[in-house]
């Protein structure tokens, strides 16, 4: 019986054979936050992300990888958000197998210089090319500047590997970083140590795959 997962993989590999990744050097990790922003009505929950939704790279750079969220990028005047969950995307490449699928999903306060105050740490199992969620109940209200992190300290080599898009985000700033010591945070690029090319998917194919998972 074909599952949503096997169908999605079939789509992935068909598309992969046809569409090589261009590789621009910069990119955004597929780490996102879902919550209810303060800003004007109707106060509907929404997903905040810097990635453009098109998976292009996988990376196992650093013990920790994270995205720095600046609420003013999404709403300059009222940038607070009540976080309901965070979302993590991974990719298991057969040539670069994971030594563990376990990771910590973490939420921290902190600006571009790095995470400084931990708000949550949840142990999760990564899945191949599927979203993994850390759910907060009650919800968590971080500072205007906060981080969503993958902590891979349960691995000997930075796995499970994280998915990334290709090219700069809408702010023109780096928002994706990695670190081995939690002190120095280097901007993640496709030239970073451990980055490995992944074939590109068209944005509409990526949306179709997400739709399959949502309905499963």
Stretch that binds Ca ion, among 27-35, 59-67, 105-113, 171-179 (CB under 5 A): 27-35
- For Ca ion, the closer of residues 151 and 176 by Cβ is 176
Q: Which of residues 37-96 bind Ca ion (CB under 5 A)?
A: 52
Binding to Ca ion by residue 145, rule CB under 5 A?
A: no
Strands 102-109 and 81-89, bridge-based pairing: unpaired
Binding to Ca ion by residue 174, rule CB under 5 A?
A: no
- For Ca ion, the closer of residues 86 and 174 by Cβ is 174
Instruction: Round to whole Å and give the CA distance between 4 and 104.
Output: 26
Binding to Ca ion by residue 28, rule CB under 5 A?
A: yes
Q: What angle do CA 209, 203, 130 make, to 5 degrees?
A: 30
Least gap, CB of 156 to Ca ion (angstroms):
29
Q: Which one, of 111, 95, 89, 106, lies nearest residue 197 by Cα? A: 95
Query: Helical H runs in the chain?
Result: 4-18, 203-215
Binding to Ca ion by residue 190, rule CB under 5 A?
A: no
| Residue 49 CB contacts under 8 Å (≥ 6 apart), including other chains | 28, 30, 31, 32, 33
Least gap, CB of 166 to Ca ion (angstroms):
7
Binding to Ca ion by residue 169, rule CB under 5 A?
A: yes
Q: Can you give the binding site for Ca ion, defined by CB under 5 A?
A: 28, 52, 165, 167, 169
């Amino acid at each position: 019986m074909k599952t949503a997962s096997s169908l999605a993989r079939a789509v992935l590999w068909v598309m992969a054979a046809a569409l090589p990744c261009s590789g621009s050097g910069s990119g955004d990790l597929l780490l996102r936050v879902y919550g209810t922003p303060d800003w004007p009505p109707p106060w509907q929950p929404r997903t905040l992300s810097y990635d453009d939704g098109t998976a292009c790279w996988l990376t196992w750079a650093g013990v920790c990888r994270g995205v720095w969220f600046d609420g003013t990028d999404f709403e300059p005047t009222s940038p607070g958000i009540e976080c309901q969950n965070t979302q993590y995307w991974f990719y298991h490449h057969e040539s670069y197998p994971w030594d563990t699928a376990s990771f910590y999903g973490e939420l921290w306060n902190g600006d571009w210089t790095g995470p400084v105050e931990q708000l949550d740490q949840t142990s999760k199992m990564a899945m191949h090319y599927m979203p993994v969620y850390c759910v907060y109940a009650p919800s968590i209200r971080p500072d205007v500047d906060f981080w969503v992190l993958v902590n891979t300290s349960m691995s000997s080599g930075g796995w499970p590997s994280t998915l990334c898009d290709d090219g700069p985000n809408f702010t023109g700033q780096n928002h994706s970083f990695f670190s081995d010591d939690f002190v120095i945070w280097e901007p993640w690029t496709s030239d970073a140590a451990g980055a490995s090319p992944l074939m590109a998917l068209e944005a509409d194919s990526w949306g179709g795959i997400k739709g399959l998972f949502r309905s499963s």
